[in-house]
Structure 1
């Protein structure tokens, strides 16, 4: 099973690591964005099934992206991948519709478990 995946992070290294943490079949359909505005533009043009989203980015941060996804009624599964592990931030992103919150660097097994839990892999 393969579907479009968008990885949004301002760090090219983090984007590469996130891509490698995906199950191999999903790595083939990855699109990347360097900030939240780029990610939003991509999601408005293309059907994205899964978004791996960093929180701390220039232009539009991860919380702003989640708010826009909600406001625009975009249908996308979002997993937040961030170094910001404050409990209040985790609660906020989950309340905005994120499926889960994974601490950077991405744990491949944890991401796989989240994808399985929500029927994405």
Structure 2
């Protein structure tokens, strides 16, 4: 099984990958801080699960989500964002996200997200 983690913050990516590894064993994790590279990596690795930050300097997470969903409807996508507005949540769910986790992340939030999307 494969996971792609997309977040412009190296610290946030490392923290998320650590939490993922505590929850899931044996998954191959690829990560990037470059929104433009995210879709390319998605096509290359064809992950089963994506953790996607919304706020990045080069390409907004919503654009990445839309592009991925234009050619793949089966991969699970969990949006990770500090934006707690209900409108944002509704928008990303309408674009095809499977779940949204608010930052700051922790083990409980990741466990809940994984339980929700993997069942």
TM-score normalised according to structure 2 size = 0.89
Structure 1 stretches of 4+ moved >4 Å: none
Structure 1 residue 13: Cα displacement: 0.1
Structure 2 alignment gaps of length 5 or more: none
Question: Is 1:17 the equivalent of 2:15?
Answer: yes
Please list the CA deviations of residues 38-94 of structure 1 after superposition, one character each: whole Å capped at 9, or x if unmatched: 110001112201110000012211100111012223532110111111111111001
In 1, distance between residues paired with 2:11 and 2:30? 15
Mapped contact 2:101–2:113 kept (Cα < 8 A): no
Structure 1 residue 24: Cα displacement: 4.5
Q: How many matched pairs?
A: 117
TM-score normalised according to structure 1 size = 0.87
Over the residues paired in the alignment, what is the CA RMSD in angstroms?
Answer: 1.6
Please list the CA deviations of residues 8-49 of structure 1 after superposition, one character each: whole Å capped at 9, or x if unmatched: 0000000011111111415x5111011222110001112201
In the TM superposition, 1:1-121 aligns within 5 A as 3-22=1-20, 23-25=23-25, 28-73=27-72, 75-119=74-118
Mapped contact 2:100–2:113 kept (Cα < 8 A): no
Which structure's residues are more often helix, by fraction? 2
